[in-house]
Amino acid sequence: MRFSPLLDELIKSLQVLPGVGPKSAQRMAFALLERQRAGGRRLAHVLDQALEKIGHCRQCRTFTEEEICPLCANPKRAISGQLCIVESPADVVAIEQTGQYQGRYFVLMGHLSPLDGVGPEELGLDNLADWLATESFEELILATNPTVEGEATAYFIADIARSHGVGVSRIAHGVPIGGELDLVDGNTLSHSFMGRKTFAD
Amino acid sequence: MRFSPLLDELIKSLQVLPGVGPKSAQRMAFALLERQRAGGRRLAHVLDQALEKIGHCRQCRTFTEEEICPLCANPKRAISGQLCIVESPADVVAIEQTGQYQGRYFVLMGHLSPLDGVGPEELGLDNLADWLATESFEELILATNPTVEGEATAYFIADIARSHGVGVSRIAHGVPIGGELDLVDGNTLSHSFMGRKTFAD
Ligand SMILES: [Zn+2]
Ligand SMILES: [Zn+2]
């Protein structure tokens, strides 16, 4: 015997969520049924709506319920002639929060990972090439993650950009501001040395 | 700027789940949108159905989509004259899996916790008293958790049972089978000593 058929089904369905196994799915189901019925109904409704309506921006591929996301639709974002390549919509939010960047984005929704079947097509690099061909960008800023996959992806995209005559830059990697040298991993520290700059007088 | 309005709403709604904060809600929302649209739609549907249909068994209070759960509806479970008191539907499943018990259950859906506003009424102890008054049980088995709250709840219910002339027992606590003495906490070990039995010849 397990729980009632519908409760068993709920516990199973919750395991579609990343990091949720049978035990935490059970805990979630009980909590929803005992204390969070209104919040649970709301979640069911919003989840259904989100999965029906949220797609990818036709231009930059970020998540949006519009054809074209507000950032791409904003003509002011074209003025700088910059295009920043990131792996995830969360990276767009993080960069926007710095207030440092006024250009456009292209969101890969991942990185090259041949073993997982993620190639240039899955990252929308055809669309990127089309975009580079039709709009004249001055600078493409590679802001993929400083991981092996992120670096490989950055190199691949740099080639595409150069073939369209667009200048390419990579965001700097190094010791985080406020970080302590001895707490930073060795790889970051070597990046930080290799990327050193002349100290202002 | 955050994400699109609907995506922000989804990330917020997911935080109704216990143990899910903003970061994991974001990770869940992205995973559902990128890789689990079908599973996500299924979850939305099942969650909605479960919250609409699953209530408490009118007799034993466990979760069920019926008026009376299959266990309570089964006349064979009345033969032994035993009623086992547990804190959670998960405890019923655990005890059923041992195959040792053939009687009935009463599920408290918690334990006495005055500071959280959980008193006898919230645990359905009026219903329990009614049940003890109308059906003649021979033994009430207290299987609440071996915690301070579980023990206090057990004492409280034992009094109700005695006032109805029903015999009361408490499940044994001690060193788990296959456990090692030196890995068991001191409290369990003292319980184990106090509950010692004459060794069979
Ligand atoms: Zn866009
Ligand atoms: Zn029942």
How many C-beta atoms lie closer than 10 Å to residue B76's C-beta? 9
CB-based contact B1 A26, cutoff 8 Å: no
Q: Which ligand is nearest to the CA of A73?
A: 1
CATH topology of domain A5-53: Helicase, Ruva Protein; domain 3 (1.10.8)
Residues of A in contact with B16 (CB under 8 A): 32, 36, 39-40, 42-43
B119-143, pLDDT tens digit by residue? 999 999 999 999 999 999 999 999 9
- DSSP element (H, E) containing A140: strand A139-142
| Three-state DSSP class for residue A189 | helix
How many Å apart are CA B69 and CA A149, to the nearest integer?
A: 53
Judging contacts by C-beta atoms under 8 Å, the chain B residues touching residue A22 are: none
Which three-class secondary structure state does DSSP give residue A85?
Answer: strand
pTM: 0.84
Which chain A residue's Cα is nearest to B49?
A6
* pLDDT recorded at residue A184: 74
Q: What does each C-alpha distance from A8 to A95, A168, B66, B72 come to in angstroms?
A: 42, 53, 14, 19
ipTM metric: 0.85
Mutate to test the interface with A, among B54, B88, B92, B98 (most CBs of A within 10 A): B54
Amino acid at B152: A
Whether the Cβ atoms of residue B48 and residue A41 lie closer than 8 Å to each other: yes
Q: What is the CATH number of domain B56-170?
A: 3.40.1360.10
Asked if residues B108 and B142 have their Cβ atoms less than 8 Å apart, the reply is no
For residue B73, the CA-to-ligand 2 centroid distance in Å is 7
Mean per-residue pLDDT over chain A, rounded: 91
> Using CA atoms, how far apart are residues A9 and B54, in angstroms rounded to an integer?
12
Average pLDDT value for residue range B156-177: 89
Taking CB atoms and an 8 Å limit, are A90 and B26 in contact across chains? yes
Beta carbons of B5 and A65 less than 8 angstroms apart: yes
Range of lowest pLDDT (A49-63, A182-196, B149-163)? A182-196
| pLDDT of A116 above 70 | yes
Q: Cα angle vertex B150, ends B145, B152, to 5°?
A: 155
Instruction: Give the closest ligand to the alpha carbon of residue A64.
Output: 1
Contacts of B6 in chain A (CB under 8 A): 46, 49-50, 53-54, 65
Residue A185: predicted pLDDT: 80
Identify which ligand lies nearest to the alpha carbon of B67.
2
DSSP assignment of chain B, as one string?
Answer: --S-HHHHHHHHHHTTSTT--HHHHHHHHHHHHHH-HHHHHHHHHHHHHHHHH-EE-TTT--EESSSS-HHHH-GGGGTT-EEEEESSHHHHHHHHHHT---SEEEE-SS--BGGGTB-TTTTTHHHHHHHHHHS--SEEEE---SSHHHHHHHHHHHHHHHHTT-EEEE----SPTT--GGGS-HHHHHHHHHT--PPP-
Q: What is the count of residue pairs from A and B with beta carbons less than 8 Å apart?
A: 164
Split at pLDDT 50, 70, 90, the class of A2 is confident
Domain ranges of chain A: 5-53, 56-170
Residue B47 burial class via C-beta count within 10 angstroms: exposed 0-12, middle 13-18, buried 19 and up: buried
